[in-house]
Structure 1
Amino acid sequence: MLDGILCMVTCPIDMCSTATVELSSGEGAISAPEDSPKASRAVRETLQHLGESGVDAHLFLDSGIPRGKGMASSTADVSAAIVATASAAGHELAPAQIAKIALGIEPSDGVMFPLIVIFDHREGRTLQPLGQPPPMRVLVLDFGGEVDTVEFNSACRESTLRLLEPRMLESVSLIEAGMRQGDISLIGKGATISSVANQEILFNPNLEAVIDLSAEVGAVGVNVAHSGTVIGMLFRDDVALVEKATDLARLRFGCLETVLHCRVTGGGVRLH
């Protein structure tokens, strides 16, 4: 929470959802994968937003982003479906329009915006671009389990968030300075402060051990999914160092389910 507004700093990575939408004359039927009801709704909401009627839509969706882990898989699916629907109808939507439609469906990450941004994931009231990230990598550690984001986002934590606000301000100040100066160590320090503070909101029993390992292997800090289970170890752009950390993490944490080596990107949606 910053200035009384719920928000988060995005951390887009090189994993994505890809959507294709085919439109045909019809009565408004939406055909979509059974396990993607939010993306299906995104197609319908986008057509309504554009004033398109008398059409049926067929959504094809492909994503390699793990679900239920806090890696913005739903936002990626929804954003991809929105952009693909608009494109199929001959329209192009600005990131703010994509966010508005997405937020009408569920609280959303701000990864539809290019660059790293501070984004109000519930109301869309606050958006501050922080810029293109310096070359960075993140080692994503999944210890298992899932978080029901609908249930998580429906809970009221305002009193706790207000108590944490000074730490969040410190965190964001460091991240802003790191982005401005291209100083990865400041970004990592700010992310770690935020991760530790988030323990008051969603406790992760593995965080302390991951912070210790990060210090051992030369990571610049850690980040966590604000409404998920994964923990990220943040590194400078050094593949060999991340691979070494991967091996050590697998040895150290026998309960690891998945380890993902990702590159931090500038976010945004892309038409192909």
Structure 2
Amino acid sequence: MEARACYPGSIGEVIQGRVKGIDTLLSCPVNLFTNVRIYECKNPFKKTFYPKSSQFLANVLKNWGYTDCIETLDIEICSDIPKGKGFASSTADLCGIYNCLIQLFHRKHDEDELAAECIKVEPTDSIIFKNMTFFDYKTGAYKEQIGSYMEFYLLVFEGNRTVDTIEFNKKSIQPLSQIDDLAELTRHGVKKRSLDHIAKASTESIIRNQHRLRYDLLSEALRLKDVTGGLGIMGAHSGDALAIIYDDIKLMERAFVNAPHFKGYKAYKLRTITEEEFRNPE
């Protein structure tokens, strides 16, 4: 009894803020992946290294009526997604666990079930959905799918600090900014397949929420965007990563080669993945 699954992470959020009075985010998957294996064994001890995934597995099996299997299934995770930086590493792990479980127990994939089970563990990224989706990441009460994922390129600057998603969302910090206008701009961008509009919304979203998680690098990233032909900035609203958005891979490659060294940050290249890649990761 064994199953394997591969699932992508994200790079921060396209936008995050209050939409229709609800704390909401929208993300895109990128070409960073977690690989999950669930298998039956006599001494399942490896899952103790993954408390969130272990809790998720137990919750799902209890919900399905397979409580006896909790003590016989173990978890292995091999991931190239940075932890605690805003790349949705935990969400990707939980989605990988879910995809393994539906294989093992011959269940149908249910996005609503997946969302509910993920939120039981922690606030959850919208890459749980197969399309671009505005999502109430704390309670799951609001979900609005707006179109298929788009491919674009990212020059990423990953910092040293880590942020615990659960603890960050428990803190008594200032509320998210209102972004109804940015949500509308994003809807328009997705409908028209206009990366310019999406990048503009993403940039304004990270700027408006600096009162919650400040990026000293932001002004330099904005300047670099302007001189290298970037369209906007995407950032982790609970992490430590900023990325410049490009619609041309050559511009992104040139920017990467000539990018200045920002103290405390490492630079590398990513791209968002297409709907086909998202559904069938290697």
Q: What is the TM-score with the length of structure 1 in the denominator?
A: 0.89
| Worse-superposed segment, 76-85 or 33-42 | 33-42
Structure 1: 5+ residue stretches without partners: none
C-alpha distance in 2, partners of 1:99/1:271?
A: 20
- Structure 2: distance between partners of 1:47 and 1:83: 13
Corresponding residue of 2:3? none
Distance in 2, matches of 1:32 and 1:98, equals: 23
**Counterpart of 2:258?**
248
Alignment correspondent of 1:46: 60
Structure 2 unmatched runs, 5+: 1-17
- The residue number in structure 2 matching 1:37 is 51
Contact 1:140 1:262 in 2 (8 A): no
CA deviations 1:12-50 (Å, max 9, x no partner) are 1122212121236x7xx7543444211111111111121
SS at match of 1:128: strand
C-alpha separation between the residues in 1 aligned to 2:40 and 2:206?
43
1: distance between equivalents of 2:189 and 2:240?
26
State the SS of the aligned residue for 2:172.
coil
How far apart, in 2, do the equivalents of 1:89 and 1:271 lie?
A: 21
Within 2, Cα distance between the matches of 1:47 and 1:116?
A: 28
Aligned residues: 262
Asked if 2 retains the 8 angstrom alpha-carbon contact of 1:69 and 1:229, the reply is yes
Q: Provide the rounded CA distance (Å) in 2 between the counterparts of 1:14 and 1:212.
A: 26
2:66 aligned with 1:66? no
Per-residue deviation, 1:89: 2.0
Does structure 2 conserve the Cα–Cα contact (< 8 Å) formed by 1:22 and 1:88? no
CA 1:113–1:82: 2 relative to 1, 3 Å: same
Give 2:40's aligned amino acid. L
User: What is the Cα-based RMSD across aligned positions, in Å?
Assistant: 2.1
Please say if residues 47 and 74 of structure 2, whose CA atoms lie closer than 8 Å, have aligned partners that are also in contact: no
Give the equivalent residue in structure 2 for 1:147.
163
Partners of 1:242 and 1:261 within 8 A in 2: no
The CA deviation at 1:120 is 0.8
1:198 aligns with 209
Distance 1:265 1:67, change over 3 A: farther
Q: Tell me, yes or no, if the aligned pair for 1:31 and 1:57 is still in contact at 8 Å.
A: no
| C-alpha contact (below 8 Å) 1:111/1:268 kept by paired residues | no
Identity %: 24
Amino acid of the structure 1 residue aligned with 2:54: S
Check conservation: 1:10, 1:119, Cα contact below 8 A.
no
1:230-241 equivalences in 2 (<5 Å): 230-236=241-247, 238-241=248-251
